[in-house]
Structure 1
Amino acid sequence: MASPDSQHPQSNPEPTILRRFASLVGLLGASLFFTGWIYRSVYFFHFNIELTTLDLPVQSFFIVPIQVLFGDGRAIARTLLALILMIPTLYLSLLGVRVFGDWFASRYSSFQNWVKQKPSQGFWMRGYQLIIEFDPLNFDSIKFLSSLVDESVIVAWVLIILFHLAHSQGVADAQRDIGPHSTLPVVTFITPENRIPLGSFLDKPFDKQQISPGFRVFGTLKPFDSLLGSEVTDGTDTQEPTRVWRLLLERDGWIYLIPTDPTMENQTEFPPVVVVQKSMYGDQMMILSPTF
């Protein structure tokens, strides 16, 4: 006759492989999205553009971390160094949490012995004795809290490292894209005269533009005056240009253009961003090229 234990086998309390894999995928997805969000926030912050106003596709935030972690040799070296430093950091942090937990447990045991030696008189002493009888250190919720603290320490350090990697890569890429090694495409943008106040005439490209009447302005005119007359890439076949217009972003019917200086290697001052609304009438033309 079969025993009751054989008829009702005990379920395995350990999570299955599928549950572990689902948990790992969830944590990996959250980490990738966090990295992509930090990278893009830092990158566009240097151009005074708020990331929440761009309405970028959510799936793109999961692709950006590949560039952050493995985009070039420097990024790979930085990622490997972060992984090497993360292992002893996590070990020391968890060891510190364990040491603190043991210290707290010993202090609590001393407190238990002190309460047991006192007579049960007074409101506070009776409350202490109830806590001693309850013995919260052996309660299941305390054990769960201890595991939760360990996992929180691990997640916190991972997020700190990812934040540092994304932040540093965002700053480096923003500085790269305003210099001679920019990965942004060179743009040639042609629009009718009455669409925007900036822009040189095709028949007289290097003459300072006469602004068409009908435009109004708010704020200071200094940024406008600094760009007026410098809309066309200067230089000749034998002379390298000192100003090249590049396409920073095209999103939601808006075109973001920036003037860059290909002669400056370590440029720290970021250029102004010219935002132009795309026309619905087909009277604009934009040509993109990899080089000037």
Structure 2
Amino acid sequence: MTSNPNPSPDPNILGKFTSVIGLFGAALFFAGWIYRWSYFYFFQLEVSNLDLPTQSFLMVPLQIFFGDVWAIGKTAIAFLLTAVAINITLWLIAIVSEIVVRIFNYLLSNRIIPATQRKQSRSAKLLNSLAVYSSSQLRFVDFLRSLINEIVIVSWVLIVIFWLAQSQGIADARRDAGQNSTLPVIALISPEEKFAVGRKLDDVFTNPTLKGYKIIGDRGLFNDLRGTEDTDTSNPNQLRIWRLLLERSGWIYLFKALPANATPSDRPALIAIQQGDKGYLMIRSPEVSKTSSP
């Protein structure tokens, strides 16, 4: 009887596919978290305090990597450079490892205390043991080499993803804080006793009374806000547009868009309004109304 040759093990395609999907999902979540962290940090908000749904972090990276032609090109160039950087890093590690192996081999062949000597000092014994172990292990331990390679690859990939997500988050935040924002224009109407600031609908020129309110902190921030609570587009050179940043967990976050001549270091002042039980009237619009202000 002829014995059948041992069948070659079938590749575990499903297992490899599952591993790739898991790593891809972790990379997407990491990119989404970094993107939103940098985006909301531009508006002085901590993303960890916003109670955003976890699944939303997996959708944001699609905009980072494939949002437009420039994003696709930037992503392709970044990962191409990453592949080059990974190979250069592994090449340098291989050179350093070879040098270390040669040094230990030299120490092993030229021991400070000859092996024929009966008594060796403790330091000589330790040096001899280290040299013997290192020369026989550093070159042949595949696990250690594989672990180093994986650490290098993962580190470079995370660095590139962090850079892409952070730069895109800051760029989108600057865009949304300016005159070309994609965030909705807002009109928020509330009962008078709920607001310390705002314009009266029947008398927009009179400041509301501040009786019963107290303040801690920078009074100048409050004074800068009073009188500018309404959107005003009458002067094209000094547009004043209020936009809605976020509505989450019972809070409404509003800001006044930055002027066209704002510098990259400028940040908009953010207003957080807690929703009450008496109700609000909120109107959202993709652009400012054509009706002139009274």
Shorter-chain TM-score category?
Answer: 0.7 to 0.9
Q: 1:233 aligns with which of 201, 213, 231?
A: 231
Q: Tell me how far apart the structure 1 counterparts of residues 237 and 35 of structure 2 sit (CA, whole Å).
A: 32
Q: Secondary structure at the match of 1:194?
A: helix
More deviation, 123-132/86-95: 123-132
Q: Which range moved further: 128-137 or 76-85?
A: 128-137
| CA offset digits 1:18-59 (Å, max 9, x no partner) | 222222122211211111111111111111111111111111
TM-score, structure 2 length as denominator?
Answer: 0.86
Q: CA deviation at 1:116?
A: 9.9
Which amino acid in structure 2 is aligned with residue 222 of structure 1?
G
- Which aligned pairs between 1:1-292 and structure 2 lie closer than 5 A? 12=9, 16-115=12-111, 118-119=114-115, 120=117, 121-122=119-120, 123-131=122-130, 137-138=136-137, 142-205=141-204, 207-236=205-234, 242-261=239-258, 263-264=260-261, 268-281=265-278, 283-292=279-288
Distance 1:235 1:134 in 2: 77
TM-score in terms of structure 1 length? 0.87
Whole-angstrom distance in 1 between the partners of 2:159 and 2:243: 33
Q: Give the total of aligned pairs.
A: 285
Residue ranges of structure 2 left out of the alignment (5+ in a row): 289-294
8 Å contact 1:233–1:241 — kept in the other structure? Answer: no
Secondary structure of 2:141's counterpart equals: helix
Single out whichever of 97-106 and 225-234 deviates more from structure 2: 97-106
1:286 maps to amino acid: M
Q: Separation in 2 of the partners of 1:110 and 1:215?
A: 80
Calculate the aligned-residue CA RMSD, in Å.
2.7
Deviation of 1:111 after TM superposition, in Å, equals 2.2
Q: Which amino acid aligns with 1:259?
A: K
Look up the SS of the partner of 2:188 in the other structure: strand
Q: Alpha-carbon deviations, 1:183-222, whole Å to 9, x = none?
A: 10000100010001011001122x1412242222111211
Deviations 1:116-168 (A, max 9, x none): 98225313344445456656744899321111001100111111111111111
How many percent identity over aligned positions? Answer: 37
**1-structure distance, mates of 2:222, 2:26:** 42
Q: Distance in 1 between matches of 2:156 and 2:265?
A: 30
Q: 1:15 to 1:151 in 2, by over 3 A?
A: farther
